[in-house]
Structure 1
Amino acid sequence: MTGLHERHLAVSPAWLALYYRHPLELTHGEGRHVWDADGNRYLDFFGGILTTMTAHALPEVTKAVSEQAGRLIHSSTLYLNRPMVELAERIATLSGIPDARVFFTTSGTEANDTALLLATAYRGSNQILAMRNSYHGRSFSAVSITGNTSWSPTSLSPLQTLYVHGGVRSRGPYAELSDEHFIKACVADLEDLLGHTRNPAALIAEPVQGVGGFTAPPDGLYAAFREVLDRRGILWISDEVQTGWGRTGDHFWGWQAHAASGPPDILTFAKGIGNGMSIGGVVARADVMNCLDANSISTFGGSPVTMAAGLANLSYLLEHDLQGNARRVGGLLIERLRAVGASSPAVREVRGRGLMIGIELVKPGTDEAAPEAAAAVLEAARAGGLLIGKGGGHDTSVLRIAPPLSLTVAEAEEGAEILGEALHAAT
Structure 2
Amino acid sequence: MKRTFKATLFLLTCICWAGSLAWGGYKFTINEETRGEIGFWTQGWYQYVENGRDSDNDGVADEGVNDFMIRRAYLSLKGEIDPYLEVFTHIASDRIGQDGLDRSSLGLGSGVAFRDLWITFKMHEAFKLQVGRMYVPFTRNYGTTSTMSLMTTDLDWTQGGVRGNIFYPSKVGRDDGGTLWGNVMDGKFQYRLMVSEGVEDSPMNPDDNLRFAGRFSVNLFDPETDWFNQGTYLGKKRILALGLGGDYQEELRFGDQEDDYFAWTADLHYDQPIGTSDAVTVEGAYIDIKNGPNSITYTQFVSGNDGSIISLKAGYLFSGKIGIGSMQPFAHYEYIDVDENGKEDTAIYGLGLNYFIKGHANKLSMDLSFVDQDEEIKTADMDVQDHLIFTIQLAAGF
| TM-score (structure 2 length as normaliser) | 0.24
| Richer in helix (by share) | 1
| TM-score (structure 1 length as normaliser) | 0.23
| Richer in strand (by share) | 2
Higher relative contact order (CA 8 A, sep 6+): 1
